Amino acid sequence: MTSRTPTSDLDAAAVVARLRTTFATRRTAATDWRRAQLTALRALLTENRDDLLAALAADLGKGPIEADRTEIGFTVNEIDHTLDHLEAWLAPRTAELPEWLLPATAHTVREPLGVVLVIAPWNYPIQLSLVPLIGALAAGNCVVVKPSELAPATSAAMARLLPRYLDDEAVAVVEGAVPETTALLDQRFDHIFYTGNGTVGRIVMTAAARHLTPLTLELGGKSPAVVDTGVDLATAARRLVTGRFMNAGQTCVAPDYVLAIGDSARDIEPHLVEALHELYGADPAGAPEYGRIVNDRHFARLTKLLDSGRTVIGGDHERASRYLAPTVLADVGADAPVMQEEIFGPILPIVPVPDLDAAISFINDRDKPLALYAFTDSDETKQRLRTETSSGALGFGMPVVHLTVPDLPFGGIGESGMGRYHGEYSLDTFSHTKSVLDKPLG
Ligand code: NAD
């Protein structure tokens, strides 16, 4: 079993060298080894559920229902899906050959990459460390996991538990912050999988370039939610607030702002208020499922955004506990502070636009979002959004949930990232698809 890697005076070269030695034995390539790791990871999650929930509560004030759903249960589902399909995904795929080459056969086979690095953020610290790990293990790699220092209790839990359950000569957990991550990034990896903000994404990509290491960048940005006229606003509001305010708004695919067409801008306001009351009651500060802001820096950043529009509900906050009430702002203009960067907190601005053309221009004038959502009954509107905008994902009628479908690739485009994972797409990310051609000599 692996030992916990020291965080101070980290010898990153030694960590990687140890995993390379393991990879060279080829044991991680065996399907049985991969299955055993995934099964052990599943056991880690179910047997230590209470400890993990406590860590998430300590780091982010996450309530148990939400944490079960979005972290532990989510990750268990990904393991089950992977175990169900692993052999099929690993089976060689026959390629059709041009006639002039016959007789011959050809196929593709997925081979492991080697030693890969997973750098995770703090907002879903279990899911975003372990779901990439699932893909990396399923593909037969050795893995260094670097959890976020901003979720210290969860990071410590993973550093304690992963070596106990997994092959510790193949999986290492390195805790730490910038110095440790920098030391890791000096090493040569066979793939780097980074989730977090675009500024650090650029640092990671620069480091990867030095070794010509392929990488996945799972980044963020402002994901708009278009609300059309004439739709069921009560349902739209319920789904919007669920997506926006889970994890106190600290969700990469949360609807960042509402682009409300025509009358829907005013009409949706009472429905958002009602939906928030339904979800968290009259006093969200006392609601067990309402989270807290991760740290003082983010708390200070968010409270500065509260003057960006007319407050429909919320706005109250308490510094000591880093509580910021679920807040809806109306009549927000494109130049408002809240519209300049990803909010990543419990604030939902409503930006009025006159029509669909204006909504599409608004979206296309900005960075390509990780997700675009729309609430509309019009097939024509759906078709126009599908063809005239670009985003990591497009969700009609319900935000966020596309990422729970393991058969759908999850990832961004442009400023929201590059590459994709979940389900078989994770296997693609963490494998090399090798072409094999066999032409008989006779
Ligand atoms: P973070 O601060 O935890 O940083 C992410 C990782 O980068 C951490 O492990 C951290 O140690 C490391 N890091 C930080 N500074 C570094 C540096 N200078 N050099 C090397 N490594 C460094 O997380 P964050 O960036 O605040 O996360 C929030 C962002 O992540 C948001 O923009 C959000 O949208 C995005 N996000 C994206 C996804 C996705 O799946 N696409 C998921 C969650 C979060």
Check which CATH number belongs to the domain holding 275 and give it. 3.40.309.10
Question: Percent of the chain having pLDDT more than 70?
Answer: 98
- Signed CA dihedral, 253, 256, 262, 263: sign only: positive
CA of 121 to the centre of ligand 1 (A): 4
| pLDDT mean across residues, the chain | 97
Q: Domain check: are 275 and 358 in the same one?
A: yes
- Signed CA dihedral, 120, 122, 124, 126: sign only: positive
CA of 218 to the centre of ligand 1 (A): 9
CA of 201 to the centre of ligand 1 (A): 8
- pLDDT at 9 (0 to 100): 80
Q: Domain check: are 399 and 276 in the same one?
A: yes
219 lines ligand 1 (CB under 6 A): yes
Contacts of 112 (CB under 8 A, 6+ apart): 23, 28, 29, 139, 140, 141, 430, 431, 432
CA of 291 to the centre of ligand 1 (A): 19
- pLDDT at 8 (0 to 100): 55
Average pLDDT of span 319-329: 98
218 lines ligand 1 (CB under 6 A): yes
Residue 155 has pLDDT above 70, yes or no: yes
Mutate to test the pocket of ligand 1, among 118, 122, 127 (most ligand atoms within 8 A of CB): 122
200 lines ligand 1 (CB under 6 A): yes
CATH number (domain holding residue 163): 3.40.605.10
Domain extent for 155 = 12-219+412-438
Average pLDDT of span 196-206: 98
Asked, for residue 167, whether it belongs to a domain, the answer is yes
Average pLDDT of span 104-117: 98
Residue of 87, 84, 130 whose CA lies nearest to 110:
87
Q: Domain check: are 233 and 378 in the same one?
A: yes
Average pLDDT of span 63-68: 95
Q: Is the pTM of this model over 0.85?
A: yes
Number of structural domains found in the chain: 2
Asked, for residue 280, whether it belongs to a domain, the answer is yes
Residue nearest to atom 23 of ligand 1 (CA): 121
Band of residue 4 on the pLDDT scale cut at 50, 70, 90: very low
Asked, for residue 51, whether it belongs to a domain, the answer is yes
Pair 361, 349: CB distance under 8 Å: no
344 lines ligand 1 (CB under 6 A): yes
Structure confidence by residue, pLDDT tens digits, 214-271: 999 999 999 999 999 999 999 999 999 999 999 999 999 999 999 999 999 999 999 9
